[in-house]
Amino acid sequence: MFLQRPFKLGSATLPSNILCAPLAGCSDVPFRRMTSKYRPGLIYCEMVKMDALIRNTAETLRMLEYDPFTHPIGAQICGSKPELAGPCAKMIEEMGFDVLDLNCGCPVDKVTKDGSGSGMLKTPELIGEIIANMVAAVKIPVTVKIRVGWDEQSIVAPEVTRIAEQAGAVAICIHGRTREQAYRGPANWDYIRACREVAKNILIIGNGDVFSAQSAEAIFQHTGCDAILLSRGTMGQPWIIEDIYRHLSGEAPLPRTGLTLRDTLLEHLEHIVGYQVERKAVLDLRRVGCWFLRNGKGVRTMREHLNRSQSTAEIRQMLTDYPWEEIDFAFSCN
């Protein structure tokens, strides 16, 4: 009923309508390699700034690296300068990306201070101008991701939905929180439903508080959205995509145990070790390991050891030797 396989997004045909968001500081090559195993409809690289992209900075280009097997792959740009939108969109298309998204939802101060990210919600017409410039420059589908408004007194999501559609965006993703909320409090899916009601042809993608297969079904049911975008729900449980597929297809969930978690974490470790220099790999593994361990009972000592670890070899040995079968994990997707 809700699952679409395949899913048409403008001129792109995706494997499904279960998509994976660009997560700042998370959606790097190792993370995307893990996610791609479960065949989501689309995987995004991390958001990049137009100003940095147009200058071809090394850090930005590295953030846009991807493996050919991770197609379909999306890129997301942010910025408030219409004159950069077209050239940046063209650069993304020439890199081989399948979909291009404009970020109008990032709540971080360093992004919003120049009017970018969710700062764009204060100037809805500017969003339309930038989208129009992107659409005019490329043949790949252009989409936009927003929050519902700057705060509860300025809910603009339905207005931006109309503007984005007129500008040529094929889809709009709505995170059901305001910028002021950041990630506090529950996402209000009513605002996503309101966007569904004003949309004519533009597709509506629901986002916010999808941490399990059951909540994936619930957001479809509540909002009438065409697709969903998984964000923090993929951190430490990349199999959520498979669980959602099975749940929406009426199939029983696959059993997951502490050993499942161990094997997945070790696989993620190998991807990180193969991609990062040693010191960066250790720091990444400390962070990634805590994602996987967050729902475990009795793993405090392990987390402490992980955060004190000094080498990838030490972390690999610790993960291998740990008595995972004795740990009780709450797998929220089962």
Residues recognised as catalytic: 106
User: Beta partners for 230?
Assistant: 20
- Classified as helix, coil or strand, 48 is strand
- Phi first, then psi, for residue 128 (nearest 5°) are -60, -40
Quote the DSSP letter at residue 143: E
CA distance 328 to 293: 10
- Phi first, then psi, for residue 188 (nearest 5°) are -95, 100
CA distance 306 to 57: 33
Pick the closest to residue 143 from 2, 22, 6 (CA basis). Answer: 22
Q: Tokens standing for 43?
A: 């995987």
Quote the DSSP letter at residue 149: B
Sequence-separated (6 or more) residues with CB below 8 Å from residue 163: 124, 125, 127, 128, 131
Sequence-separated (6 or more) residues with CB below 8 Å from residue 313: none
Contact between 225 and 192 under an 8 Å Cβ cutoff? The reply is yes
Whole-number Cα distances in Å, 133 to 104, 121, 224: 15, 18, 29
CA distance 135 to 143: 9
Pick the closest to residue 12 from 128, 96, 105 (CA basis). Answer: 96
Sequence-separated (6 or more) residues with CB below 8 Å from residue 21: 27, 44, 145, 207, 229, 230, 231, 234
